[in-house]
Amino acid sequence: MSASNNVTTASAPAAVRNILIGCNEIYLAKAIKVLLGNFCEITERSRFDEFVRDACTGGFDLVILYSNCLSPPPLCAGGLFENSVFATKTIKSSTKVPIIAMTSMPEWRESLLAAGADVCLNTPFEAPEFRDAVLRCLNSVSAIGLST
């Protein structure tokens, strides 16, 4: 049974939204662009430091962190897990922007959510599950009054 069976469908936001993706996997980034369609302007960063810097600077309606596919330099001592948690906490402490964390490590889920991720998707995921998570986050941005 797919996890997407329990997902409610959300409608697309009216305005074009700015999304920052932290991922150096070119095919995943392309797939995300296809799934999101034309209502998004997408900025990609492939390094932890650039991704966190840009996410904290603002101007994005949503950030998507796929830390399994981000390049060094590391943000803190430790491996991908510690850097993922650190990145999520740093972004959440600087801005109200929703964060979708994606990971191929199911055991990271609770820690990423506790660090401030609004949604944590295990990879691989179903396209409807991903699209609905993005739409729910973008619609919550509209509800709390964040703008680009």
pLDDT (0 to 100) of residue 125: 87
- pLDDT value, residue 102: 93
- At residue 5, the pLDDT reads 39
- C-alpha distances in Å from residue 84, one per residue of 39, 42, 119: 27, 21, 14
Say how many C-beta atoms besides its own lie within 10 A of residue 8's C-beta.
Answer: 7
pLDDT at 142: 56
The pLDDT of residue 141 is 62
Mean pLDDT by 10 residues, the chain (148 residues): 42 72 84 79 90 92 88 78 92 95 93 96 90 87 46
